[in-house]
Copies of this chain bind each other. A is one copy, B any other.
């Protein structure tokens, strides 16, 4: 009974009345000590660098999901995650997944690398020139690195991978971009580096070859990653599966068996259910460039029956998120970063990436359960649109 009470207190207050919203704000403060402010707003003058021709603000409904218990390298403890969505069921579904994993001991999550690439391409008249060029680049790597890094205080050039194809040589310039998502940082670094190379060699280039696949999911990014790479795992207990998720191992196994074959056949970017939903919801709430979700919706979701329950795992090779720059500095977005404790700190963008990875795993778990228990359609009828 003590446990029951405890459980109730750990659940976000529900309801659609105005004072329910108030109760949730209070509840967050109760849980985190964080005083959530209603709708701070920026002055138009502050939108330079964010948007041109602005005419106002779009109001996207925002909710809270949690608690999310994390054992990460950068993100540790309990989190309440702000999300924006128009899809009924998403907030309660993510909350259910978070709750199920928290009761089972939480989610272990590891940031494994941070590599943002920009890939200019040099163009040649004949093969001899392109092969000579490749040697030149290898030999002058240190000089190129110095030039590239001259444009940024935090970005570090990690390497340049060369790909010869037809009469082109792609230079895949890979940077650690610190706490910035970093797309503009790598563009600028690549630009000055290529200008330098052109000056020294006389070779012509185009700054964007498409190889880095900015804002597009790709095989390259599934294999090599782009931005942050995050791995997450949790082990659901049998009791949690039955009580909270309404599933049995057997149903899940059936689903796990067919999923990879059919998604391979369909040709999706990895076998997962809907990581775009978690990413979009958190990106919107935390000032990320939401168009990057198209690029970042690559992942591998998998379940494995174990003695005491079921392991669930998610690999996200490409999360191009940051905690400085761009929309992160706007007032309401900044407030959400603060709620997550990601507004500053040496590795705040990695911490954010770990929170996103774990939240996405939680949402995958919940939808997987809905499908395996055949309650998916009914949940959408109850909570969803149309």
Contact = CB atoms under 8 A, between A and B. Distances in A.
A275 to B, nearest CB: 8
For A215, A221, A288, the residue with the greatest tally of chain B CB atoms inside 10 Å of its CB is: A215
Interface stretch (A57-65, A137-145, A345-353): A57-65
B268 A218 contact: yes
A93 to B, nearest CB: 9
A307 interface: no
A165 B261 contact: yes
A131 interface: yes
A30 interface: no
Contacts of A54: 16, 21, 24, 61-63, 91
A67 interface: no
Q: Give the interface SS of chain A, mostly helix, strand, loop or mixed.
A: mixed
Counted per complex, copies of this chain come to: 4
A17 interface: yes
A188 B41 CA distance: 40
A260 B258 contact: no
Nearest 10 CB-CB pairs, A to B? A219-B267, A86-B327, A260-B260, A276-B294, A219-B219, A326-B385, A191-B377, A57-B59, A294-B297, A325-B386
A6 interface: no
A262 B211 contact: yes
A52 B89 contact: yes
Interface in A263-307: 263-274, 276-277, 279-281, 284-285, 287-295, 297, 300, 302, 304
A79 interface: no
A165 B41 CA distance: 41
Contact of A63 (B53, B92, B293): B53
B61 A276 contact: no
A4 interface: no
A23 B92 CA distance: 42
25 contacts: A16-B54, A18-B44, A21-B54, A24-B53, A39-B59, A51-B63, A51-B91, A86-B290, A87-B291, A121-B258, A170-B262, A209-B258, A215-B276, A215-B277, A216-B276, A218-B267, A219-B219, A260-B264, A260-B271, A261-B271, A264-B270, A267-B267, A293-B294, A294-B294, A324-B386
Contacts of A217: 217, 268-269, 294, 297
A239 interface: no
A167 interface: yes
Contact of A220 (B188, B266, B279): B266
For A41, A231, A290, A383, the residue with the greatest tally of chain B CB atoms inside 10 Å of its CB is: A290
Contacts of A380: 184, 187-188
B49 A265 contact: no
Contacts of A213: 263, 266-268
Contacts of A158: none
A384 interface: yes
Interface string A43-55: 1110111111111
Nearest to A329: B385
Contacts of A281: 291
A12 B53 contact: yes
A95 B342 CA distance: 34
B291 A274 contact: yes
Contacts of A128: 108, 110
Contacts of A220: 219, 223, 265-267
